Copies of this chain bind each other. A is one copy, B any other.
């Protein structure tokens, strides 16, 4: 295993320390228990809190800041954070208007966030994100997995909270974005969790895993590599089949790299996906292309489509200032 690390046990502390050192105007970190929060506690708004296993960076800590999250709780790599992290973060950032937890649907995350929700003595609610249309139930999940569409939920709810929406209004926006969003990905290679020291799964030199999860969980099928446009056909077929947008719908198209795929290929995927969506009568009017919900150094990518309306478009366009998204 070749990685830029010193000791396995110090990876999280040194990486989060580096992130905060690189963005001192934006972020602060606590370590006992661990969470990342905005340097300036927001006032008069619902506090938005997310978290999950590390190894998916910039998700979630890269989305802490004005217009998105108030705090993020990173677990160990591919391991859920614990309720004490969520409680400490919620108490540190809330502003007497309630706390909304945004949770990717994995058994560990959903159980731990539920415990935190019950223990927290502040009004709170939860949005469960389950945008991955690849499979029902999976290695770590009952129901559908939450993947790259989580970014859309965090961005749009973040804008609503900044505009003064109540806790229940924020939850309603989050549930609505989740329902309007679907994703599916494909892996070319595995990734290596530092503490494991070996590849999470094996895959042949000419094979791809269609519908892979962001921890390397199996997808729908293993098949031979094929042209990008045909991979995109498969992914969009599943996504559009799930969302069933009306003809003429405006959509946000997100091409998400898993960490090890060059930008040249991600934009090539965008080209194929946008053309196919247009050919089916949809209008990709907003885009996001890059590594946002990663699986360490996995080569591969996912497509996410969010069906837009005027409100969601305006929430997407609203200003955001975080380490990973800034406009």
Output the least CB separation between A195 and chain B (Å): 13
Could you give, for residues 240-279 of chain A, a 1 whenever the CB lies within 8 Å of some chain B CB and a 0 otherwise?
0000000000000001000111111111111110100000
Does A22 make an interface contact (CB < 8 A)?
A: yes
Output the least CB separation between A100 and chain B (Å): 25
- A54, A62, A225, A263: most-surrounded residue (chain B CB, <10 A): A263
Number of chain A interface residues as a range: 35 or more
Does A113 make an interface contact (CB < 8 A)?
A: no
Which of B14, B271, B289 is in CB contact (< 8 Å) with A272?
A: B14
Does A301 make an interface contact (CB < 8 A)?
A: yes
CB-nearest residue of chain B to A230:
B6
How far is it, in angstroms, between the C-alpha of A227 and the C-alpha of B11 when the chains are bound? Answer: 11
Which of B7, B268, B294 is in CB contact (< 8 Å) with A263?
A: B294
Does A58 make an interface contact (CB < 8 A)?
A: yes
**CB distance A262 to B55 under 8 Å?**
yes
How far is it, in angstroms, between the C-alpha of A67 and the C-alpha of B188 when the chains are bound? Answer: 37
Could you give, for residues 15-42 of chain A, a 1 whenever the CB lies within 8 Å of some chain B CB and a 0 otherwise?
1111101110000000000000000000
CB-nearest residue of chain B to A207:
B2
**CB distance B261 to A297 under 8 Å?**
yes
> Which A residues contact B (CB, under 8 angstroms)?
2-7, 11, 14-19, 21-23, 54-55, 57-58, 62, 77, 188-189, 205-206, 208, 225, 227-229, 231, 255, 259-272, 274, 284, 287-289, 291, 294, 296-297, 299, 301, 326-327
